[in-house]
Amino acid sequence: MPKAMLAETAQRVQRAMAWMRAPEFLVFLPAITLAGFWIGGEKMLILLAVGLPLLFAIIGQPLLAGQIGQGEEGSAVTRALALMDAILPLAAETGRTTACLVVQFDDLQAVLERHGRSALTEVITRATDRIRGALRVGDCVVNLQGGSVAVVLAPVRRLDLETMIQMGARLQEAVTAPIALGGAQLYITCSIGFCIGGRAPEPTGRSMLDAAQTASDEALRHGPAAIRAFSLDMAQKRAERDALRDSLEEALDKGDIRPHFQPQISTDTGEISGFEALARWNHPVRGCLTPSEFLPAVEGSDLSERLGEVMLFHALSALVGWDREGLKVPSVSVNFSSAELRNPRLPERIKWELDRFELKPDRLTIEILETVVASAENDVVVSNIAQLAGMGCGVDLDDFGTGHASIATIRRFAVRRLKIDRSFVTRVDQDREQQKMVSAIVSLAERLGLDTLAEGVETAAEHAMLSQLGCGHVQGYGFARPMPLDIATDWARRHANRQDRIPRIGARR
C-alpha cells in the first residue's frame, strides 16, 4: 500500500477510534446491531456480538479507564500496551505519536504506617482520579501493582521534552492538593518518569512501559516530586544495578561487603575519638565499590537490614579487637538507613549484639541523616531513636546543615553530636561565609549542650580553623581515608605513638 494511502487509512481509523471512544457511541449500539442483522443476517449478528466487545477491549480502554479497579490490573495493562502497539507503528505516517508516563507516589509506606491499608487504597484511588481529571479525554490511565499509575496518551501531533515536563508538573500539581481523609488532611507528592514514542529501546507498548517505569524509578530515587525522561543510558545503569542487586545477597553471605574505617579526632586532645564504619564491597570483577555504587541496589531490595547487621557485626568486632590490643578507641560509628530505622526490632537487635560482644552501649554511635530525622513522622523511627539514646548509644546527626531539622526535633531525638556537613567545611580556612556557617552551627550546638564533628576535613589549615571555631571533633582525608580493618588498626597504633610526640594544632576555645 502506498505511504499516502496508509496515512489516510490510519487517520480514518483514528477518527473512528475517537468517535467510538465517545460515550454517545453507546446510544447507537442497538441501531448498529439491527442494521447488521438486516444486511448480513445471523452471521453478521454473531460477528457484531463477538467483534464489538473485542474492539472495545483494544481501543475502548479510555472509556473504561474510569472503572478499572486494582484487581483488574493485568487486563488493564494489556489494553494499555495494545493501545501503544497500535499507535507506534503508524507514527511515521500519521505524524502522531504517544507517550507513556509512570507516576509513583512518594513515601506511600508512611501513609500505610500512619493511616492503614484502607486509607492507602483510598489515597491511591483519589490521586488516580485527579490524574485522570488532569488529562484529556482519550488518554488512558491504568493502576499498576504497588500503587503506581501508568498513563498512555492518545495520539498527539507534537510531543517534545518540554511538553512532557509541563504535563508531568501538571499531574504533580493535581496530586499535591490535600486529600481529606477521616477528618485529617493528607499531603502526598509523586515522582514521574516518562518515555516519548520512538525513544524506547523497541517500538512496542511493553518496551515503552518498561522505559517509563525505569525513568519513574530514577525519579523516585531523586524525589520527592522529581520528573525524569527515559534515556538509553538510564536503561544501561538500571541493568548494572539489577545485576548488582542479584549478586548482593551472595556478597553479603560471602563476607565481600565489609566496613572500612575512618578515624575521628578530638580537636581538644588530638586523640582518636572514634572510627566511622563505611561500607565497601570487594567485588570479584569490579574491585572495591563505594556505597554510591551499590547502596541504590540495596535500597531497592529487602537487604537493607542484612547490610545493617553485617556492618554492625564487623564494627563491634573491630572495637573488641582494638580493646584487646590496648588501643584507645572510645567508640565506633555506624550509619543507619531510614529503612532500618523503621524496623521496630532494631533496638532489641542492637542490644543483643552489644551484649554478645560484652560492650557498653556508649561504645556505639548511631549515625542518622539529618534529613531522616527532619522528616521522621513515623512513630517507629521516633521510638527507635529514643530507645537507642535511652540505652546510652550516641546519636550523631549526619550531614548536618543540609536537612532542615528543627531545634525541637534535635531535642526530641536526644542527639549527642551534630556532624557538620562537608559542604560547610571545604575551604573553611579561606572563606568567611563558611566560617560564619560553622560558627553558627557550633554556637547552636553549644546552646543545646551538644558536641560537634566536622566531616570532610582535607587540609591542616581547615583543621586549624575548625579548632579555632570551637568544633569538637574532625574527620576527613586530611587525617586518613576510610581504611580496611588491618590498615586502620596500624594507623591507630601509629597515631597513638605520634600523639606522644607531635604538638597539637590549635586548641578548642
Binding site for Ca ion (CB under 5 A): 335, 367, 398-399
Q: What letter would DSSP give residue 146?
A: G
Q: Cell numbers of 268, please? A: 581538644
Binding of ligand C2E by 144 (CB under 6 A): no
Q: Cell numbers of 179, please? A: 486529600
Which lies closer to Ca ion via its Cβ, residue 402 or residue 499?
402
Binding of ligand C2E by 205 (CB under 6 A): no
Binding of ligand C2E by 234 (CB under 6 A): no
Question: Which one of 109, 166, 477, 494 is in contact with ligand C2E (CB under 6 A)?
Answer: 477
Cα–Cα distances in Å, from 212 out to 80, 286, 299, 332? 13, 29, 20, 42
CB of 394 to ligand C2E, least distance (A): 15
CB of 106 to ligand C2E, least distance (A): 19
Cα–Cα distances in Å, from 40 out to 21, 29, 48, 50, 54? 25, 16, 10, 15, 19
Torsion sign across C-alpha atoms 178, 179, 181, 186: negative
Which lies closer to Ca ion via its Cβ, residue 367 or residue 462?
367
Binding of ligand C2E by 399 (CB under 6 A): yes
CB of 457 to ligand C2E, least distance (A): 6
Which lies closer to ligand C2E via its Cβ, residue 403 or residue 482?
482
Interface stretch with ligand C2E, choices 48-56, 222-230, 287-295, 370-378 (CB under 6 A): 287-295
CB of 366 to ligand C2E, least distance (A): 11
Picking from 331, 395, 342, the residue whose alpha carbon sits closest to that of residue 369 is 395
The site partner of 316 among Ca ion, ligand C2E, none (C-beta below 5 to 8 Å per kind) is none
Identity of the amino acid at 269: T
The site partner of 476 among ligand C2E, Ca ion, none (C-beta below 5 to 8 Å per kind) is ligand C2E
Which lies closer to ligand C2E via its Cβ, residue 155 or residue 482?
482
CA distance 485 to 489: 6
3-state secondary structure of 484: coil
CB of 481 to ligand C2E, least distance (A): 7
Binding of ligand C2E by 398 (CB under 6 A): yes
Which lies closer to ligand C2E via its Cβ, residue 148 or residue 304?
304
Cα–Cα distances in Å, from 308 out to 36, 322, 328, 354, 376? 69, 21, 25, 14, 19
The footprint of ligand C2E on residues 408-437 (CB under 6 A) is none
Cα–Cα distances in Å, from 148 out to 87, 145, 192, 364? 23, 7, 10, 39
Which lies closer to ligand C2E via its Cβ, residue 11 or residue 337?
337
CB of 274 to ligand C2E, least distance (A): 13
Count of residues touching ligand C2E (by CB under 6 A):
20
CB of 299 to ligand C2E, least distance (A): 9
Interface stretch with ligand C2E, choices 115-123, 169-177, 290-298, 342-350 (CB under 6 A): 290-298
CA distance 138 to 134: 12
The footprint of ligand C2E on residues 455-474 (CB under 6 A) is 455-458
For helices 117-133 and 108-115, give the axis angle rounded to 10 degrees. 140
CA distance 88 to 10: 11
3-state secondary structure of 264: strand
Contact 303, 310 (CB under 8 A): no
- Residue 98 phi/psi, 5-degree rounding, is -135, 175
CB of 304 to ligand C2E, least distance (A): 7
CA distance 141 to 128: 8
Question: Which one of 128, 335, 384, 489 is in contact with ligand C2E (CB under 6 A)?
Answer: 335
Which lies closer to Ca ion via its Cβ, residue 217 or residue 367?
367
Contact 137, 62 (CB under 8 A): yes
Which lies closer to Ca ion via its Cβ, residue 367 or residue 451?
367
**Interface contacts to ligand C2E, rule CB under 6 A:** 262, 278-279, 290-292, 295, 311, 335, 337, 367, 398-399, 455-458, 476-477, 482
